[in-house]
Amino acid sequence: MESITTDEIRLQELQAFDETKAGVKGLVDQDFTNIGKDPNARQEIISKVREASEKWGFFQVVNHGIPLNVLQDMKEGVLRFHEQDTEVKKEMYSRDLTKPLVFTSNFDLYSPAPLNWGDTFAWNMASNATKPEDFPVVCRDIIPEYGRQVMKLGMELLELLSEALGLDPNHLKDMDCYKGNMLLCHYYPTCPEPELTMGTAGHCDPTILTMLLQDHIGGLQILHQDKWIDVQPIPEALVVNIGDVMQLITNDRFKSAEHRVLANNIAPRVSIACFFRADLRSQEKLYGPIKELLSDDNPPRYRETTFVDFVTYFNAKGLDGISALQHFKL
């Protein structure tokens, strides 16, 4: 099996935090040197991934093999895109998120939920309709390069997560959990009255998993045991969170963690989310609790759905604070 051979991976569990300040105090730092060379090291990573996915639904990965300069260039490229003149950006403006490349604002503009303070440039990575010259000139090289690297790392993670569930390493990949991936390049402008709104209101992701690169500004928080906890920026880290569809197919074993982004009046913030999901154009594949994980003591808690039905329901509902999973419960 292909595995990480040269790069160390350390997972930083969001484990110890200062409850009084509701911030992450000491991240427990696990050194995963030799993941590819040493089977014991790999097993140790798998057990850390399992623990974090069951308990938090969130973890940060460092020494993952994506070079720091690629992460840096990506954040700068996305900032350059969003800081262009509106006249330039409006060429790409659309509310149709199925297009290969779109610039949009408030995906849930017409839903009843409150509006969020942010814009997004989205790339449907699976669409082979995107030609290199279609990418905006200010980030033409870095977006596909980052996309390639984050996909590669994500495929490794799908293997680790499959193994963490006691399944064959290829199980999640064989379920096509990556064939409709989307890269969401967010920009949260400085907000004059941040107490009146949110960058992104509390939500879980309509994904299998999400891999997020955030800049140094901060504002991302996760809800854990009724407290909002800051996910402090680490320049070389990627934040991984379990999505709703992963919670559904693991029959609640892995947790889809609610998270939000605060608006701020200090500086604009950039983040890039890679949504791992199945191809939304496919109406055939059904996603329900994985049979191998079920037993008499663990009967299915959700009905089967197509990925597109899940996402359509999620988008129509908007970020109203109610889990989309409720709708799919048996």
Contact residues for Fe ion, defined by CB under 5 A: 205
Q: Cβ closer to ligand AKG: 238 or 249? A: 238
> What is the C-alpha separation between 201 and 188, in angstroms, rounded?
12
Q: Cβ closer to Fe ion: 205 or 279? A: 205
Contact of residue 186 among Fe ion, ligand AKG, none (CB under 5-8 Å per partner type): ligand AKG
Provide the minimum distance between the beta carbon of 94 and Fe ion in the complex, in angstroms, as a whole number.
21
Provide the minimum distance between the beta carbon of 42 and Fe ion in the complex, in angstroms, as a whole number.
28
- Maximum alpha-carbon separation in the chain: 60
Contact of residue 256 among Fe ion, ligand AKG, none (CB under 5-8 Å per partner type): none
The DSSP letter of residue 13 is E
CA geometry: angle at 238 spanning 181 and 229, to 5°? Answer: 110
Q: Tell me the residue number closest to ligand AKG, measured at CB.
A: 271
Q: Cβ closer to ligand AKG: 171 or 317? A: 317
Q: Cβ closer to ligand AKG: 130 or 271? A: 271
Give contact residues for ligand AKG (rule: CB under 6 A). 184, 186, 200, 205, 212, 214, 220, 259, 261, 271, 273
Residue 236 CB neighbours (<10 A): 14
User: What does the DSSP assignment read for 221-252?
Assistant: EEEETTEEEE----TT-EEEEE-HHHHHHTTT
Q: Cβ closer to ligand AKG: 164 or 184? A: 184
Helix spans in the chain (H) = 39-55, 68-82, 86-89, 142-164, 171-174, 244-249, 307-317
CA geometry: angle at 212 spanning 109 and 97, to 5°? Answer: 35
Provide the minimum distance between the beta carbon of 288 and ligand AKG in the complex, in angstroms, as a whole number.
23
Contact of residue 108 among ligand AKG, Fe ion, none (CB under 5-8 Å per partner type): none
Provide the minimum distance between the beta carbon of 107 and ligand AKG in the complex, in angstroms, as a whole number.
10
Contact of residue 212 among ligand AKG, Fe ion, none (CB under 5-8 Å per partner type): ligand AKG
The strand pair at 238-242 and 182-188 is best described as unpaired
> What is the C-alpha separation between 25 and 57, in angstroms, rounded?
18
Contact of residue 240 among Fe ion, ligand AKG, none (CB under 5-8 Å per partner type): none
Give the residue from 182, 68, 178 showing the smallest Cα distance to 121: 182
